[in-house]
Amino acid sequence: MASVELGKPSYEAMSQGETRGRLENEKREEARNVMKKNGNRTVSFSLPMLGCGCFRVQRDEEGNLDMDVVNGSGDRRQPTHLLIMVNGLFGSAKDWKYAAEAFLKMYPEDMVVHCSKRNYSTLTLDGVDVMGERLAEEILSVIRRHSSVQKISFVCHSLGGLIARYAIAKLYEQDALREDVQVNGEYDKHGLRDQSKEEEFKGKIAGLEPINFITCATPHLGSRGHKQVPMCCGFYALEKVAVGTSYFFGRTGRQLFLIDKDSGKCPLLFHMAGDREDLKFLSALQSFRRRVTYANARYDNVVGWCTSSIRRHKELPKLKGLSGDSKYPYIVNVEMAKISSPELYVPSEAEANGYKKAVLEEEMIKGLLSMSWERVDVDFHKSKQRNNAHLTIQVNRYKDNSDGACVIQHMIDKFIL
């Protein structure tokens, strides 16, 4: 069985051909009418799918869409792997339409894909911490609906990577330390936590085994200066203007430009580069079997190469001579994970006091690189879609960003199930 959960009703099922498209529209309109008559209660309907039965689509009053692959008799298997997809700034669940379908084509029996819906459009201006809290609650809700899942992975675009990093810290803490969160198999019939399973759930995310944590074009080091926002072309004056305009992007903008003061003396992203007393950000990341960054080497006008690949400028590969192959034409460099330090680095607040950007960045790099990362560098230089690289790396809309399909395929091929 495979299922996709989508956060907006505009997220469509697989469409192949004009006839199928008309059928989908008719079914969708029928569902809307039923929803109106039934007071927005949950309704379900089926859509044809070539090769392996059909999609069963379920929608509730909150806008959730569950899509299962079932056979002719309606039977389905129980998925064991939950994949959470998280959108970026001003994005929505439908941004993952192509990627979600691609993953399910590869793993139709084993995976349920949930495209996060809680943080979309202007809600992405509320701050990484607020959105991380929402995502954590959403994930717990998804797990309650799919009691068979045993593993969890994330694929995140842009700001979504930071949101997911905050959420897993919340879920790691709730799973390992708190006793008021229900996860699969954790409570007895009286609602009491089984203490014999305490050791079993340590190092897990919401009671699930963490497997893949994948980000693409995510500003892990923030967006403050030193060509971290490529559209500023490295000019100090433009970067200073960009910092000033960050207030138009709410708490999220201030956090990305490392000028927020909500978390105390240091910016939130700095705190997220280490384990803190209340939230174990690095321990949560380290619990995953693999961590991967996909980064645009150039043409990304929103997120710089350094911040998305967690590198210092001097560590960036030389683009000259790098090229992709026939299967992944725009993936030009892959660095496999190196053996990480046995101890996690704790960024020093004393070192970062005063908000000196260079010091903040270096401390964040040390913290995040105290564990191993796979790095995948992408270059759309030969693509007609290169000027929209930030969205193309995700295949945000297939019509406009189809050249990023090889990046999604690379994620799928290297994915640990």
pLDDT in tens, 56-78: 545 545 555 555 566 556 566 78
Q: Which amino acid is at 161?
A: G
Position 50 pLDDT exceeds 80: no
**pLDDT number for residue 338:** 82
Position 180 pLDDT exceeds 50: no
Fold classification of 43-174+202-222+280-337+371-414 is: Rossmann fold (3.40.50)
**pLDDT number for residue 357:** 74
Q: Mean pLDDT over residues 175-196, rounded?
A: 42
Separation between Cα atoms, residue 98 and residue 27, nearest integer Å: 21
**pLDDT number for residue 78:** 84
Position 4 pLDDT exceeds 60: yes
pTM of the model: 0.81
**Average of per-residue pLDDT values in the chain:** 79
What 17-20 contacts at long range (C-beta under 8 Å, 24+ apart), as own/partner pairs, is 20/48
Tens of pLDDT, residue by residue over 326-376, are 999 999 999 998 876 668 887 877 666 665 778 889 999 999 999 999 999
**pLDDT number for residue 256:** 92
Q: Indicate the pLDDT class of residue 281, thresholds 50, 70 and 90.
A: very high
Q: Indicate the pLDDT class of residue 232, thresholds 50, 70 and 90.
A: very low
